[in-house]
Structures are given as C-alpha cells and as structure tokens.
Amino acid sequence: MAQARNPKWDRDELILALDLYFRHNPLNINSSHVEVVKLSQVLNSLPIHSNKPDAERFRNPNGVYMKLCNFMRFDPSYHGTGLERGGKLEEQIWNEFANDPDNLRLIAQSIIEGSHQTDVEAMYHDDEDETAFPEGRVLYRQHRSRERNKTLVARAKEKALESGSLRCQICGFDFYEKYGDLGKGFIECHHTIPVSEYTRTIGTKLSDLVLVCSNCHRMLHRRRPWLSIDQLKRLVR
Ligand SMILES: [Zn+2]
Ligand SMILES: [Zn+2]
C-alpha cells in the first residue's frame, strides 16, 4: 500500500539546510555526519508541520542529506551534474540567501532558537503572510509576537497620544480621522529589529517599535533588508 507522503519542505527548513550546505559541502560528508543527524533532529522539533503522515521517515538523516545534494545544481562552484529533483522553493531560497552566508547563518540560528519559544507554537497556522515571510514561519511568528506585545504596544500608543493623535509615522495616516469611531485607537506596530539579530537581542524594547498604518507595515515587510522608517518615508513622498 502506498504510504502517504510527508509535507514538502518549508522555507524554515530549506534555510536551515542551505546553512548546513555552506558549512559542510555534501561531497565531503554523508548522511551519518553529526551535523546532518543534528539537523534532522532540529527539523523534527520545528513547530511548523502538524501533519507528518510518514513520521518515521520525516526529515530523517537520509532525507536531509538528499536535500543538501539538491542544492548542488545551483552552485556555480560545482561542475558535476546536479540532481534534478526538488522544488522551485529550493531555487528561490538559494537565490535569496546564497550570496550572504553570514546573514544566512544568523537567520538559521534565530530560527533554531525561536523554535524553542512556546509563544511561537500554534499561532497563525497557514496564515498566508506566514508562508510568504522570506525568513520562514518561525521568525515570522516571533516578529509578530514582538510587535503585538500588549504592554509595549499600549505604551507606544500612549506616548503617541500625548502629542495628540495616532498617526502612521511614515505616511501620516490616521485611522480615526478616516474611519471615525471605528478607527479610534487603531494603529499597527512594527518591530524594527531584523530577525537575523534575534539571537543578539533579548525581548522587545519600546524604542524598537514604530506606529504604522497597515499599508506602510506591509511595505516595510516587503523588502530585504527591511526598509528603514526614513527610507520608506522618502519613498512615500
Ligand atoms: Zn502609513
Ligand atoms: Zn512588522
């Protein structure tokens, strides 16, 4: 009987695999290498796939090693014939991260650390933004939880209200002005510390939050590295 297949590799997982690829070329190691086994364990503990039909083989060392080999065909320093297997996402991840292995390293470390944090679990499953977040689901959830820190958001709003109104700090949009009572008190917060720096920063500081309208918030998330507030302001003008 045909076994149900495990879910495809997600961004988080491919980021971790690519990071390992740059530290250990698959040509020099095999599936029993300690780092391959370690990554297999990490992948099994990530809070992103609730459905693992073939749990026994899910991201096992063999599968991890195969995935490393899949990346070879994008590598200009490799002259053999690469495996043709694998999906489009692998190529995307390669294109996005391969030219900056140091940053990739930081993001990979942030994902591993972030995956241990309980608030990351079970939030926003299959949220469309989550699957599109370049650094993967784990860091998306962490980013969101940092900018939804109730106490800090309340303080940021209070501070803004002292000077009169809750305006987008980029384009000046005011939900109250536009939507009347419905929009009263509404504004989003963006946490400005890049996810690659999460391992070096603890918690959220008030000064890391900016108040933004929903449109500007989306635009801030759209480019890597994130646009600074001033950069986006200049674009809006
Ligand atoms: Zn705005
Ligand atoms: Zn944000």
Distance 237 CA to ligand 1 centre (A): 11
Shortest-distance ligand to the CA of residue 222: 2
Shortest-distance ligand to the CA of residue 212: 1
Do the domain assignments include residue 141? no
Shortest-distance ligand to the CA of residue 145: 2
Do the domain assignments include residue 174? yes
**Considering the chain, what percentage of its residues have pLDDT values greater than 70?**
92
43 with 114, same domain: the answer is: yes
17 with 122, same domain: the answer is: yes
Do the domain assignments include residue 97? yes
119 with 61, same domain: the answer is: yes
Where residue 124 falls among pLDDT bands split at 50, 70, 90?
very low
Put simply, whether the predicted model's pTM sits higher than 0.85 gets the answer no
120 with 156, same domain: the answer is: no
The residue among 204 and 64 whose pLDDT is bigger is 64
Do the domain assignments include residue 118? yes
DSSP annotation string for the chain:
-PPPPPPPPPHHHHHHHHHHHHHS-GGG--TTSHHHHHHHHHHHH-TT-S--TTTTTTT-HHHHHHHHHHHGGG-TT--SPPP--S-HHHHHHHHHHTT-HHHHHHHHHHHHHHTT-GGGTTSSTT-HHHHH-TT-HHHHHHHHHHHT-HHHHHHHHHHHHHTT----TTT---HHHHHGGGGTT--EEEE-S-GGGTTT--S--GGGEEEE-HHHHHHHHHSSSPPPHHHHHHHH-
Where residue 201 falls among pLDDT bands split at 50, 70, 90?
confident
30 with 102, same domain: the answer is: yes
Distance 82 CA to ligand 2 centre (A): 38
pLDDT, residue 205, reads 86
Distance 224 CA to ligand 1 centre (A): 19
Residue 163 in this model has a pLDDT that exceeds 80: yes
Q: Count up the domains in the chain and report the number.
A: 2
**Considering the chain, what percentage of its residues have pLDDT values greater than 90?**
58
Residue 24 in this model has a pLDDT that exceeds 90: yes
Distance 212 CA to ligand 1 centre (A): 5
Structural domain boundaries enclosing 195:
148-236
